[in-house]
Structure 1
């Protein structure tokens, strides 16, 4: 099938509907449908969006005939990865559709990615450049939601999905898609590290269409060069060296000052202890003592119990990709798409959402 018309004809045949009935389903009268199938009239972007929605295909496939990499991953992976890939495929399909409708991913990669040297050093240099970008944008990793910051500064789509246990997240990268899918978690510090880890895969242009991380702390996995780089990036990104050296001071760390620093940076005490040991700011004995603390215990020591509870609540809450939600609604407002993709992202009934939007617009128009 080398043309859009041929692909649409194949979908009509597979649907079991007549051409007239199919046209009615997508809002085209018999005359327009006939002209579109004969080539006398081109299918509009709205037509394509409605066909894709009706037949559960992507606009990108209708235009190009090419299947995205996640479709292959969905067939070859199993177990705990299945739910993550299903979510990633859904979001990636919608992002590719938005690109074809004139709403591309606002991806902003780092400009100077010279990654010579060892993999850990590559990750640290990449983190330094990423932190510079965050500072230039006037944002901070210590305040606000990290997913929001990464979407704003780098333009990646970040989703949080209930994936059950045994899977931390994935990153997927293609021409039109830069996406991270995270698992909901009762350990916000682990979720935060995973997000930084997956961001590293995107920023480093790791040669993987889909990168699955069942356990970002798995020691066997960490021997892979791209994993070594991603872990080094996450540590340096979330625990910047200058902040750690400034916090150490001449007296070093007490349990109180260490717990406060872990809470300030929103990292696990074990990750912070290893980072301090790596920078030779503590010795091995102190590292062993401090890394035995849990994040919850550190919050209690630092008097941050309520703040930690809020972080746990936030980490257990699903989150649709914010940028993608923005773009799907913009496409609907511009008449380039239906309201259904936006409603699907929010997990609400499309008819109810339409009524609420119309009611709100009516209220705004009232004298």
Structure 2
């Protein structure tokens, strides 16, 4: 099947419908379908979107005949990773289809490859500030989307899986699991952003546990962890804190809460920078995030962060583009509804409601 028309023709044959019935199902005039199959008319972007929805294939496959590599990975990996890869495949396919329809990924990389992780993090923080956002904002996923144009999504994947990133010409995606530990989820987003900015594993990079010692042995993992640590716990802020007065347990708890990082991560970073010794590090690491928030008088705020981190989050930029594609008539409502996890009919009724 060397052409798009060949692939559509094969799909019609497999469906068991007549050309007329198939045309009716995808909302296309039967004469126009025949002309497209015969080569005297080109399939429009909306035609292809409707064929892909009807037949369960991707627009990319209809055009190229090539199945994305990510689909193969999703089928060959078991357990929780398979759920993550399946979701990443679905979102990557939607993003690729949006690109075909004229709504491409608004990715803004910073050309940071071959630079030290600390330099990458400083440049990334400066870029975030330049676009009017802050690393300290609680809606960290939204900050990353606004500053870099990556799609960021949070999915319920179960324990034992932190996140993954997908990087291709058309897709820049960060997928992380829901968590009752907001600081861990936040660190994972920063970690995966580090992979994207560094150009690691240009198709797919999976992180089952960003804190696991085995992963830290890998150079790209060390780089991504160092990037995340520096981005979330900037050197200047920590030195200023240490220079003001001795860091005791109370000031440490307040700092961990303000930076929205785990006490363990902060203690290790302070020790690595020579701002506290090993004994103090071991003492501070025993604090939990909940205890640090309580010591800082922000237990209610912390409870809200736990609630947010525990809930799935669809990718904001991709939702925006899918809706715009529907609004301009380039796509049906189905991709937008699928991203929101709602039925097409109920969504259409809501959109048209007075």
**TM-score scaled to structure 1, two decimals?**
0.95
| 2:259 counterpart of 1:265 | yes
Q: In 2, are the aligned partners of 1:161 and 1:318 still within 8 Å (CA)?
A: yes
Instruction: Report the Cα distance in structure 2 between the residues aligned to 1:20 and 1:65, rounded to whole angstroms.
Output: 24
Which residues of structure 1 form unaligned runs of 5+? 117-121
Q: In 1, are the aligned partners of 2:113 and 2:197 still within 8 Å (CA)?
A: no
Instruction: Report the Cα distance in structure 1 between the residues aligned to 2:343 and 2:201, rounded to whole angstroms.
Output: 38
Provide the residue aligned with 1:153 in structure 2: 147
What aligned pairs does 1:79-118 form with structure 2 within 5 A after superposition?
79-111=79-111, 113-115=112-114
What aligned pairs does 1:121-136 form with structure 2 within 5 A after superposition?
122-136=116-130
Deviation at 1:188, TM superposition (A): 0.5
| 2:26 counterpart of 1:26 | yes
Q: Secondary structure in 1 aligned to 2:88?
A: helix
Instruction: Report the Cα distance in structure 1 between the residues aligned to 2:129 and 2:32, rounded to whole angstroms.
Output: 53
Q: 1:57 to 1:114 in 2, by over 3 A?
A: closer
Deviation at 1:251, TM superposition (A): 2.4
Instruction: Report the Cα distance in structure 1 between the residues aligned to 2:35 and 2:279, rounded to whole angstroms.
Output: 78
Deviation at 1:29, TM superposition (A): 2.1
| 2:46 counterpart of 1:52 | no
| 2:186 counterpart of 1:192 | yes
Instruction: Report the Cα distance in structure 2 between the residues aligned to 1:358 and 1:207, rounded to whole angstroms.
Output: 43
Deviation at 1:208, TM superposition (A): 4.0
| 2:225 counterpart of 1:235 | no
Instruction: Report the Cα distance in structure 2 between the residues aligned to 1:84 and 1:174, rounded to whole angstroms.
Output: 17
Q: In 1, are the aligned partners of 2:121 and 2:227 still within 8 Å (CA)?
A: yes
Backbone CA RMSD of aligned residues: 1.0
Provide the residue aligned with 2:3 in structure 1: 3
Instruction: Report the Cα distance in structure 1 between the residues aligned to 2:323 and 2:172, rounded to whole angstroms.
Output: 19
Deviations 1:39-94 (A, max 9, x none): 11111111000001111111111111122121121122111201101110110000
What aligned pairs does 1:158-307 form with structure 2 within 5 A after superposition?
158-307=152-301
Provide the residue aligned with 1:119 in structure 2: none
Instruction: Report the Cα distance in structure 1 between the residues aligned to 2:218 and 2:296, rounded to whole angstroms.
Output: 36
Which residues of structure 2 form unaligned runs of 5+? none
**TM-score scaled to structure 2, two decimals?**
0.98
Deviations 1:131-155 (A, max 9, x none): 1101111111112400000000000
Deviation at 1:250, TM superposition (A): 4.4
Q: In 1, are the aligned partners of 2:167 and 2:196 still within 8 Å (CA)?
A: yes
Q: Secondary structure in 2 aligned to 1:179?
A: strand
Q: 1:125 to 1:352 in 2, by over 3 A?
A: same
Instruction: Report the Cα distance in structure 2 between the residues aligned to 1:42 and 1:208, rounded to whole angstroms.
Output: 33
Q: Secondary structure in 1 aligned to 2:147?
A: helix
Deviation at 1:107, TM superposition (A): 0.3
Aligned length: 354
Deviations 1:73-122 (A, max 9, x none): 112211120110111011000000000000000000003x2525xxxxx2
Q: In 2, are the aligned partners of 1:45 and 1:336 still within 8 Å (CA)?
A: yes
Q: In 1, are the aligned partners of 2:168 and 2:202 still within 8 Å (CA)?
A: no
| 2:134 counterpart of 1:140 | yes
Instruction: Report the Cα distance in structure 1 between the residues aligned to 2:113 and 2:188, rounded to whole angstroms.
Output: 24
Q: In 2, are the aligned partners of 1:168 and 1:191 still within 8 Å (CA)?
A: yes
Deviations 1:280-326 (A, max 9, x none): 11111111110111101111111110010000000001000000000
Q: 1:114 to 1:100 in 2, by over 3 A?
A: closer
Q: Secondary structure in 1 aligned to 2:209?
A: coil
Instruction: Report the Cα distance in structure 1 between the residues aligned to 2:268 and 2:142, rounded to whole angstroms.
Output: 27
Instruction: Report the Cα distance in structure 2 between the residues aligned to 1:125 and 1:57, rounded to whole angstroms.
Output: 42
